[in-house]
Amino acid sequence: MLSRRPFRKFHNYGLGLVSEILAPLLRMASRTIAPGPPSPPASWKRGLIIGHTRIGDVLFRTCSLEPLKKGLPDCEWHYLAAADSMEVLRHNPFLASVVSCCQSKHPLQLMPEAVWKLRAMKFDVALCTSPETYWQDHKVALMAGIPNRVGFIHRGLSGLVTHPVCCNYPASWAGYFQQIVSHLTGAA
């Protein structure tokens, strides 16, 4: 059962509860949109990190990129960023590339050609890193046809996640991504 604590507005809590009631249908729909069985982290070869694409949000996640790469060394990691924040990540040694498919003014609003670009990259996993509006991350992952979706479920939508991460809420913004990396790699 969902806790009321992480919700600011009661109607959002209600929507979270409804999403959990509909979880089996969401699971079925997500398997149709992004076919392929979930696979264990050790088998992943290509991953996409999704989160808010503004420069500050991108910087909060950089401290966990090294433990992520070391914990899953066979997976090449790509980061979805807006054009104006991708420069921060351009030469990061723990990323294979920075994919600019988002509009700078609207975080996680994909440009028209972005869906096909992401689908062509054939990602095994998407790290849906937002602790609040994570439905946006899952929308991007599903549109890209990514079969493994790692993310939080403390606000509902567990039917869209193949690898749920328990959320220690509230935490620092950098701490949320650290929780995901720790869950996947076992690193503190």
In this predicted model, what pLDDT tens digit does every residue of 84-95 receive, in sequence order?
A: 888 899 899 999
Instruction: For 177-187, write each residue's pLDDT tens digit.
Output: 999 999 999 98
Q: How far apart are CA 178 and CA 188, in angstroms?
A: 9
106 compared with 182, residue with greater pLDDT: 182
Q: Which residues pair with 78 in a beta bridge?
A: 48, 97
Counting residues of the chain whose pLDDT is more than 90, the rounded percentage is 60
Q: How far apart are CA 81 and CA 138, in angstroms?
A: 15
106 compared with 9, residue with greater pLDDT: 9
* Alpha-carbon distances of 19 from 1, 78, 160, rounded to whole Å: 11, 29, 10
Question: In this structure, what token pair is assigned to residue 72?
Answer: 């899953």
Indicate the pLDDT class of residue 170, thresholds 50, 70 and 90. Answer: confident
pLDDT at 102 > cutoff 80: no
Q: Which helix (H) or strand (E) holds 102?
A: strand 97-102
Q: Which domains does the chain have, with CATH numbers?
A: 10-185 (3.40.50.2000)
Q: How far apart are CA 57 and CA 173, in angstroms?
A: 8
User: What mean pLDDT is reported for the chain?
Assistant: 90
Say if CB 128 and CB 141 are below 8 A apart: yes
End-to-end CA distance of the chain: 27
pLDDT at 26 > cutoff 90: yes
Q: Which helix (H) or strand (E) holds 50?
A: strand 46-50
Instruction: For 107-148, write each residue's pLDDT tens digit.
Output: 667 877 888 999 999 999 999 999 888 889 999 999 999 999
pLDDT at 52 > cutoff 90: no
In the prediction, which pLDDT does 108 show? 66
